[in-house]
Structures are given as structure tokens and as C-alpha cells.
Amino acid sequence: MTDSRVKTCSSCNAPIVWLLTKNLKHIPCDAASVGIEDTTYVAGTHVSHFATCPNASKHRKKGQ
């Protein structure tokens, strides 16, 4: 089954899925760690793409 939510990271071309955090913000996660029914980010279950992207520093907001 194909997940239509799978997008591509703009800097490393890895497959990602955007999930909602408990603070109602979106976070990119590695698609391989996201199940078809998952909608909310769960630490320890989902892998944040910020942790695996070789270009993550290019996407950080100022002051972080």
C-alpha cells in the first residue's frame, strides 16, 4: 500500500512524512518509521528527519 502523505526532503531527497506533535506543530519524520495509520509524532516510535538528514542544519530556525 502506498502512503500518499510521503513527500521528499528538499535537501537530501529522502522520503519523509509530516506528523503533528503534541504542541500542534508539524515535524518531518523518516517515512520508514511511520505507519499508515500514524498521524501524531511519538518519540521513540518515530524518527525525526532532523536527526538523520545530512543537511538538517540548513533547515534550523534562527536562534536554535
Domain count, the chain: 1
62 assigned to some structural domain: no
Q: What is the pTM of this model?
A: 0.85
| pLDDT for position 8 | 96
Residue type, 38: D
Number of Cβ within a 10 Å radius of residue 59: 13
21 assigned to some structural domain: yes
Confidence of residue 1 (pLDDT cuts 50, 70, 90): very low
| pLDDT for position 59 | 74
27 assigned to some structural domain: yes
Q: Whole domain around residue 24: which residue ranges?
A: 7-55
Do the beta carbons of residue 50 and residue 25 sit within 8 Å?
no
pLDDT at 21 over 60: yes
14 assigned to some structural domain: yes
61 assigned to some structural domain: no
Confidence of residue 57 (pLDDT cuts 50, 70, 90): confident
48 assigned to some structural domain: yes
The per-residue b/e assignment along 23-57, b for 16 or more CB within 10 angstroms, e otherwise, is eeeebbbbbebbeeebeebeeeebbbbeebbeebe
1 assigned to some structural domain: no
Strands of the chain (E only): list them: 7-8, 15-20, 26-30
Mean pLDDT within 4-14: 94
